[in-house]
A and B are shown apart, each in its own frame.
Chain A
Amino acid sequence: MDEQAIIETEDLTKVYKTQVAVDHVSFNVVQGEVFGFLGPNGAGKTTTILMLLGLTEPTSGKVRVLGVDPTRDSIKVKGMVGYMPENMGFYGDLDAVQSLKFIAELNNIPRDVADERIEAALRTVGLADEARKKVAAYSRGMRQRLGLAELVVKEPKLAFLDEPTLGLDPDATNRMMDLIESLSCEKGMTIVLCSHFLHMVQRLCRRVGIMIKGKMVAQGPMDRLAQEKLGLGAEEYTLEELYMKYFQET
């Protein structure tokens, strides 16, 4: 695997008025991996992602995403990076094809290329049959898959997925996991996955970062962390045990 770092941060800090949301966080994400970004609610994961996208300015610290400083040139970063926010919204009165066309236009993708990509994306996420239904009539699972289709159309090098399986039924969750896996394997997308579904993270990711109260308390290959913290081998631990161990310590 090409071990080129796609995200590099150094002492990244964000202070909102009096509250320190992100506290001197340094971590790397390398080319082609699925990085599990874990932590309790309000730990600062979303804020970190927003800083990596250049949507909010860090108070201090260095960031580089795909070799570009998002604080300086956020347009360039946003052109190369896809973001699927938690509770992603859709324009209810558009259908799937129209929504994807809108995304393609915003990304300056030429129309003929866009049309091909949209068709392929809808097939990939399994929405081809419902493509002409208004998004307002979509179920939660379908909406999340449409969100993923937006990423596929954009074809970013790096994608942030914030809670992609929140509120999905078990079948839809499995389907979502397969899709994320295929994005990583087939499209070669680097993925940062924020989730509380730890068994899913354990299945998809090799390396994880655990963030608690604004601090990155652990990062690295899951197996190594388990070895160090729990003294268990690769097959014996669950990520849940590991996560709870860190959580209780802080």
Chain B
Amino acid sequence: MQGWKPIFKKELADHFSSYRFIILFSLITMVSLIIAYMVGVTIKQDLEGVAKPKFVFLMLFISRGVVFSLVQFVAFFGPLIGLVLGFDAINRERNEGTLSKLLSQPLYRDAVINGKFLAGVVTISIMMASILLLITGMGLKIVGVIPGVEELCRIFLYLIVSIVYISFWLGVSILFSIIFRSIATSALASLALWIFFSFFVSMGATVVANAAAPDANSSNPEAMVRNAKIQRAISLISPMVLYTYGTATVIDPTRKTTSTMVLVGPMEKISQERFSGPLPLSQSILIVLPYILSLIAITAVCFAISYTIFMRREIRSL
């Protein structure tokens, strides 16, 4: 691990002074604040004269404003942050001739990717944390409700999962910057993958499910379940779906399952009918743990692939 610290420091400084980061950050902050404001105003109107329900504060994050809720917004555009931070990590250094200079200093090759990845993760963390804090602050002012300890815990957990999710996309873009020599190619490839996972996987899932288990619209409940199961299984290859499932019950305590209504088993249905209150935090975590773990796993796999390719490359073709 020798030598990653100076690279980490330099990359961090680069991120925070680069124009693309500042533009992206202001854009995302602006949109988040607008969403939070709209949602906040709506909540305030809805709650007027009504007894205060539990977890009002979290509604800031999960209610739909005009088009998007904040959680949906991050699921959709969060990847862009990761991609922008990493798509030229290695190939820019290669093209500018700084990589051979860097590697001729006494450091292991992996220090270069480690330093860059870590700097990206820290940048993402600072960015996400400040956005969530801003929204929390705005929520306090508009809604006038103080979040409880559990709500804060849920927001914190949501923050962590979001950081892992965006870091996955950072890993993807660093991988592409190792594979492709040209910066434009690596940028386009990462964008293509993002679009593929965000739009086409869910579309494809529906198509495949309808082909494999037709009659989904008929009154045959078995076919409906089969159709829904296939659709779900396919859509789970998308990190966006994983993330959406992984945060669903964490940020929304009234949700008790990540499944759609069709897929809820009989026992689950009974328990849902009997216990209509919100889920305790530990139970919420239990439900989403598999998704969070898969998210961490694919991030690790992606990083491992970058690692092997980078370590094995001949220096002349680097």
Contact = CB atoms under 8 A, between A and B. Distances in A.
Contacts of A102: 6, 10
B105 A89 contact: no
A188 B129 CA distance: 53
A50 B97 contact: no
B3 A47 contact: no
Interface string B88-109: 0000010011111111111110
Contact of A90 (B5, B9, B98, B314): B98
Contacts of A244: none
Given A50-B315, A50-B316, A107 B100 contact: no
- Label chain B's interface by main secondary structure: helix
Interface stretch (A72-80, A170-178, A196-204): A72-80
B12 to A, nearest CB: 13
A75 B104 contact: no
A35 interface: no
A87 interface: yes
Nearest to B7: A106
Contact of A105 (B6, B93, B100, B316): B6
Interface string A152-179: 0000000000000000000000000000
Contact of A56 (B96, B101, B315): B315
B101 A16 contact: no
Interface residues of A, number: 29
Given A55-B103, A79-B106, A93 B96 contact: no
A16 B314 contact: yes
Contacts of B99: 89
Contacts of A92: 96
User: How many B residues are at the interface, by size bracket?
Assistant: 20 to 34
Interface string A43-55: 0001100100101
A106 B97 contact: no
Contacts of B100: 55, 83, 85, 88-89
A55 B315 contact: yes
Contacts of A90: 96, 98
Contacts of A78: 104-107
Nearest to A162: B100
A102 to B, nearest CB: 6
A56 B17 CA distance: 35
Interface of B: 2-3, 5-7, 9-10, 14, 17, 93, 96-108, 314-316
13 contacts: A16-B314, A55-B104, A75-B2, A75-B107, A78-B106, A82-B104, A88-B100, A89-B100, A90-B96, A91-B96, A102-B6, A105-B6, A106-B3
Interface of A: 16, 46-47, 50, 53, 55-56, 75-76, 78-79, 81-83, 85, 87-93, 102-103, 105-108, 150
Given A56-B316, A88-B97, A89-B100, 8 more contacts: A55-B315, A56-B314, A78-B106, A79-B106, A89-B101, A90-B98, A91-B98, A106-B6
